[in-house]
């Protein structure tokens, strides 16, 4: 008989839910939760599918996840079809297997097993799912969280199923994330013939001292929970490809991953001061996709650590590294305790993304143990 976690994971992988298209994944999950006695509320917003499922009374414990995946890329490079959930040597292959359809399946089966043992559990057991986490996230968790608050539904504990593990399941959990600030700067010059440098102003040349100073800034030293703030230039663009003409402008794109030692205003002021110091003509666009958040301590963090130890006999390492996650919205708007725990991240978003069945089963057992620790 096929393992129920494997069966559910295969069903979800078979839905080509490239963000923000859910492609039927949430219907599969909602059918399972309805049978378990959950009340379900769809909160679909434009092109994005979202749902909120809950059961019980009291403090709200929430599993948070997403059904969308990144594109499969060149399917001819895959060993097996990316949207089939093919099993070979006890490994499930497929886009989204690790990020994060496997974790969603582990959550659902953990809930199913928990409710068989504790049908009259304490508190509210809930599930919050979106189909737009991998792309812009415009109509996903951030807007849903705001709607929940309007209905006086405030999550106290939030467990996110992002793939945090590295070498073994539960070796690393996230108790926070850095903020992310995207910046676009347009530096203006004067276009001209390359043979007449006295008649032009080359924005590439004039930008070099500024760019050197920009990437040399030590923003902060970090702290016990966060690495130092870092900046990476992602792209430099000019509006001409001719070899005998200089461009009239240079577009610089960069990103800062920042911690709680610095503010967005502090970053902006530092960059404006540097631009003015170098006497550049400029225009700046700022886009903060997430502020840093941190769960220093609390019941959820303690119970998650204890549950991992019970199953794995080893304690996890706490980390705030990596990209952003939807947990930031729950923390920012609700002040919730947020912890992230999921499958291994070694091949997420890659060709031949896959998970071991044994890892999937282990994660579900840890989730079930967390539920027992939190709700009984």
Q: Decide: helix, strand or coil at residue 259.
A: coil
Nearest to 103 by CA among 347, 325, 359, 293: 359
Q: Where do runs of H (alpha helix) occur along the chain?
A: 4-13, 25-35, 102-117, 141-150, 203-216, 264-277, 299-312, 327-334, 357-375
Residue tagged active-site, from 21, 22, 68, 368: 68
Q: Are 124 and 58 in contact (CB under 8 A)?
A: yes
Find out whether 146 and 138 touch, Cβ atoms under 8 Å: no
Among residues 21, 22, 99, 133, the one annotated as catalytic is 133
Kindly state the greatest CA–CA separation across the chain. 82
Residue among 162, 82, 148 nearest 341 (CA): 162
Residues 173, 168: Cα–Cα separation, whole Å: 11
Q: For tokens 């209905």, name the residue.
A: 151
Strands (E), 43-112: 50-57, 60-66, 87-88, 91-93
Q: Establish whether 112 is a catalytic residue.
A: no
Q: What is the DSSP string of 109-148?
A: HHHHHHHHH-TT-SEEEEEEEES-SSS--TTSHHHHHHHH
d(CA 286, CA 128): 29
Is 285 catalytic? The answer is no
Residues acting as catalytic residues = 68, 133
């Amino acid at each position: 008989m096929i393992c129920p976690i494997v069966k559910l994971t295969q069903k979800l992988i078979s839905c080509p839910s490239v963000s923000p298209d859910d492609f039927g994944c949430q219907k599969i999950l909602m059918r399972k939760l309805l049978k378990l006695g959950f009340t379900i509320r769809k909160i679909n917003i434009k092109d994005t599918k979202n749902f909120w499922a809950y059961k019980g009374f009291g403090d709200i414990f929430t599993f948070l996840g997403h059904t969308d995946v990144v594109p499969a890329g060149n399917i001819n490079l895959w060993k097996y079809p990316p949207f089939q959930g093919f099993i070979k040597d006890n490994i499930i292959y497929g886009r989204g297997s690790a990020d994060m359809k496997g974790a969603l399946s582990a959550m659902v089966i953990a809930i199913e097993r928990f409710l068989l043992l504790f049908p009259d559990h304490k508190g509210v057991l809930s599930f919050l799912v979106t189909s737009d986490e991998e792309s812009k996230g415009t109509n996903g968790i951030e807007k849903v969280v705001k709607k929940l608050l309007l209905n006086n539904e405030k999550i106290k504990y939030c467990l996110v199923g992002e793939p945090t593990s590295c070498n073994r399941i539960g070796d690393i959990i996230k108790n926070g994330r850095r903020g992310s600030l995207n910046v676009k700067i347009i530096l203006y010059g004067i276009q001209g013939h390359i043979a007449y440098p006295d008649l032009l102003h080359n924005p590439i040349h004039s930008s070099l001292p500024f760019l050197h100073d920009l990437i040399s800034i030590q923003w902060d030293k970090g702290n016990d929970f966060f690495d130092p703030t870092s900046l990476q230039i992602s792209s430099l663009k000019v509006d001409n490809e001719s070899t005998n003409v200089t461009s009239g402008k240079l577009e610089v794109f960069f990103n800062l991953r920042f911690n709680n030692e610095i503010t967005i205003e502090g970053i902006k002021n530092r960059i404006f001061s540097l631009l003015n110091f170098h006497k550049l003509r400029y225009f700046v666009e700022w886009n903060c996709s997430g502020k840093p958040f941190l769960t220093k301590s609390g019941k959820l963090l303690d119970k998650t650590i204890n549950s991992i130890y019970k199953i794995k006999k080893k304690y996890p390492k706490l980390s705030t590294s990596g990209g952003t996650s939807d947990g930031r919205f729950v923390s920012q708007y609700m002040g919730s305790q947020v912890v992230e725990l999921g499958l291994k991240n070694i091949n997420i978003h890659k060709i031949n993304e896959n998970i071991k069945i044994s890892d999937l089963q282990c994660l579900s057992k840890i989730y079930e143990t967390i539920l027992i620790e939190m709700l009984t």
